[in-house]
Each structure stands twice: as C-alpha cells, then as structure tokens.
Amino acid sequence: MAQHHSSNAGGASHQEHGAGGHHGSLKQYVIGFVLSIVLTIIPIAVVLNDLAEGTAALVILLGTAALQFVVQLLFFMHLREEKKPRYNLMTLLLGLVILLTIVIGSIWIMQYNQVYH
C-alpha cells in the first residue's frame, strides 16, 4: 500500500491510466491545503494590520478569495483532470455567468436606485 501510495504521489499512476485519472494524490491535496492557508492568511493580515485601504484592500481580499476558489477546484475537486467533453467545466461556467449577473446586477441597480437611497 505504501508503495502504491508513493507512486500515486509522484503522479506515475496518472500517466498509467492516461489523462483524467481523477482520484488525486496526497501531494496534490497537500499543495492545495498549503496554498489555501497562505491565501487565507494574506487577507487576514491585510485587514487586521490595516496594510491596505479602499480599492487596494478590496482587490487583495476578493483576489485571494477567487484564487482560493480556483485552488479548491483544481487541487481538491480535480476539475483539471476531467475527460472531454468537459461537461463539469461547462456547467460551472454557465453557473458562474448566472451568479455574477445576479450579484453584480443587483449591486449596480441598487446603487442607482433613488427610491432605496
């Protein structure tokens, strides 16, 4: 089992089964976990120490959150290893388009809503 495990971590078993082996490896999960921790600590440090303000802070906060979303998708949910046709990716992109339309659209409309303000 240990032997298999190490070959898995080295990515060798991925090649054996061709592209798209979705079972992941320990190395992948550890990299994902470390990246997530770093991407969580950065915005916490920025906010608690007042390292950035206004737009710069917003960009750092939303940027690290978006990056962490990508890290989870690639390292934990194995989106990269999907076989063609990539239905999972297509559904995700459609979902994100709807989501961003709702969120950005709501903010945009309410910002210029004279009745609300």
At 94, phi and psi to the nearest 5?
-60, -45
- The Cα 91–Cα 25 span in angstroms is 25
Is residue 35 within the footprint of another protein (CB under 8 A)? Answer: no
Tell me, residue by residue from 56 to 75, as one string, x for binding to another protein by CB under 8 A and - for no binding: -xx--xx-xx--xx--xx--
Measured in whole angstroms, the distance separating CA 66 from the mean position of its chain's CA atoms is: 6
For another protein, how many residues bind (rule: CB under 8 A)? 58
Nearest to 37 by CA among 80, 61, 71, 63: 71
Q: CA 88 → CA 1, 47, 65, 98, distances in Å?
A: 31, 35, 21, 16
- The Cα 115–Cα 41 span in angstroms is 40
CB of residue 97 to another protein, shortest distance in Å: 10
Q: Pick from 6, 10, 11, 22 the residue near another protein by CB under 8 A.
A: 22
Is residue 115 within the footprint of another protein (CB under 8 A)? Answer: no
Q: Which residues contact another protein (rule: CB under 8 A)? A: 1, 4-5, 8, 13, 16-18, 20-26, 29, 32-33, 36-37, 40, 43-44, 47-48, 57-58, 61-62, 64-65, 68-69, 72-73, 76-79, 81-83, 87-88, 91-92, 94-96, 98-100, 102-103, 105-107, 110
